[in-house]
Amino acid sequence: MKDREDSTSSCKGPTDSCKRVRQSAEDPGDLLSNWARLPQEILLHIFQYLPLLDRAFASQVCRGWNEFELNQPASSYLKATHPDLIKQIIKRHSNHLQYVSFKVDSSTESAEAACDILSQLVNCSLKTPGLISTARPSFMELPKSHFISALTVVFVNSKSLSSLKIDDTPVDDPSLKVLVANNSDTLKLLKMSSCPHVSPAGILCVADQCHGLRELALNYHLLSDELLLALSSEKHVPLEHLRIDVVSENPGQQFHTKKSSWDAMVRHSPKFNLVMYFFLYEDEFGPFFRDEIPVTHLYFGRSVSKEVLGRVGMNCPRLVELVVCANGLRPLDEELIRIAERCQHLSAIGLGECEVSCSAFVEFVKMCGRRLSQLSIMEEVLIPDHKYSLDEIHWEVSKHLGRVWFPDMMPTW
């Protein structure tokens, strides 16, 4: 009997152990812990087989999976996205879909897919659609009629667009008229730089009818005195932001807006920001900065001459920020001093491939004082002279700024 009990107990021991092992293995907490310790390479291999919706559910399992999923490149999502899923989302959420942004790469296929989705937004009341080309402007390679047809669907059916970003697209004057006819009471922001099929008359139609427009971005060749006066009319709300891109490829660069038109803008919208990006060659700056202009933020993406910077100091009293990519080998001492004297609101400046003597730079900082909240100057810009060396200048500049300052260093890799 004792032997039987011993035998029973000896048999029972391993069985209980097996049960305990099985129960431990089936413990959800332990399973999750084991999965959480999987190498990321294996997780990535598994996740690649999941459709987009399942990947979203998987990201909610634990913090580790969530962080892992968020750090994956966008291309991995695009490969897993099925067109039927997009149709399902549009069908189920069309009544409250308001914010849509399409970011396409350099392939025509991506732009075509974006247009196909746009054409499905028949029952949506969108507020802020955006079309963004992350590389080259692939929307411009589509048949114009295909793009306009898809965009018109949004313009006609939304009825309440407040923001529209359509840079680098083949939008044209007739489609803008459709936009105005259906959304004139709600449109507040319009970004349409590099849209070659739009004429000054087309953008003027928008300004004439969309009296609630507060932000506008366009190319310089679309600017006109009529547009500025329309934006300054009594019916129009004060403008907050006007961005103008001035590039070599645009026609009509010789057009010159009247000072009286700009004065009307300032009277109507005294706090508006006028942002200008210049991508011109030095011999193309002839008509610019001859008269006073209310520009607040000025960026020169290519080399600009001393003469032009001198005119900036004379005719840009509202200037807040100035960035000069390159100038050449002639010091900008006098030009900087003039800008400090005349531009009383200047609070940010950046200088790239330029030259300024250390003495002139210290004088510039001294004149501007602590209102210079951003001062980005490459060390190579500063030329030592009899008064200051490179080792001494940062102490003097820091004293006038009221904070520690050092020139930017060029990476050595």
The DSSP annotation for 37-53 comes to: TS-HHHHHHHHTTS-HH
Domain locations in the chain as residue ranges: 87-401
**Best-predicted range by mean pLDDT among 62-76, 117-131, 389-403?**
389-403
pLDDT band at 77 (very low <50, low <70, confident <90, very high): very low
What number is the average pLDDT over the span 146-161?
Answer: 90
What is the structure's pLDDT at 91? Answer: 77
More confident residue, 114 or 30: 114
Residue 119 near residue 151 (C-beta atoms within 8 A): no
Banded model confidence at residue 53, pLDDT cuts 50, 70, 90:
low
Domain boundaries 87-401, corresponding CATH code: 3.80.10.10
Tell me the two tokens of residue 110: 């991506």
Which pLDDT score is estimated for 2?
Answer: 45
Describe the crossing of helices 358-368 and 333-342 by its angle, rounded to 10 degrees.
0
Stated length of the chain: 413
Name the strand (E) or helix (H) holding 363.
helix 358-368
> What pLDDT shows up at residue 243?
97
Q: How confident is the model at residue 410 (pLDDT cuts 50, 70, 90)?
A: low
What is the overall mean pLDDT for the chain?
Answer: 84
pLDDT at 4 over 60: no
Q: Does 13 have pLDDT greater than 70?
A: no
Helices (H), 1-61: 2-25, 28-36, 40-47, 52-58
Answer whether 0.75 is exceeded by the pTM: yes
Q: What is the pLDDT of residue 76?
A: 44
Give dist(CA 55, CA 335) in Å, integer.
Answer: 57
Both tokens assigned to 321: 């920020």
Beta bridge partners of 243: 217, 275
pLDDT at 36: 66
Within 13 Å and on the Cβ side, how many CA atoms surround 368? 28
Q: What is the number of other CB atoms lying within 10 angstroms of the CB of residue 404?
A: 9
Res 93: pLDDT: 78
Contact 355, 327 (CB under 8 A): yes
Rounded Cα distance, 180 and 343, in Å: 38
Most confident listed range (20-24, 80-84, 101-105, 253-257):
101-105
Dihedral pair phi/psi, residue 163, rounded to 5°: -140, 135
Under 8 Å between Cβ of 208 and 241: no
For residues 172 and 3, the model is more confident at 172
Average pLDDT over residues 11-17: 49
Dig out the tokens for 8 from the structure. 């029973």
Report which listed range, 15-19, 248-252, 266-270, 378-382, is most confident.
Answer: 266-270
Q: Give the tens place of pLDDT for each residue, 301-326.
A: 999 999 999 999 999 999 999 999 98
With contact defined as beta carbons under 8 Å apart, do 158 and 183 qualify?
Answer: yes
| Structure-token pair, residue 250 | 């645009």
Q: Bigger pLDDT: 42 or 293?
A: 293
Place of tokens 């959304």: 183
Mean pLDDT of all residues in 120-136: 84
Tokens in use for 38? 């999987």
| CB atoms inside a 10 Å sphere around CB 263 | 14
For residue 45, give the amino acid letter: H
**Could you give the count of Cα atoms lying within 13 Å of 123 in the half-sphere of its Cβ?**
9
Phi and psi at 299, nearest 5°, equal: -125, 125
User: Which pair of tokens denotes residue 342?
Assistant: 């005349």
Q: What residue ranges in 23-147 does DSSP mark as E strands?
A: 99-104, 128-133
* pLDDT for residue 411 is more than 70: no
Taking Cα atoms as reference points, which of 331, 315, 322, 328 lies closest to residue 350? 322
Of 388, 392, 393, residue with least CA distance to 375: 393
What is the structure's pLDDT at 10? 46
Per-residue pLDDT at 107:
83
pLDDT above 60: residue 298: yes
- What confidence tier does 287 reach under pLDDT thresholds 50, 70, 90? confident
Read off the pLDDT band of 103 (50, 70, 90).
Answer: confident
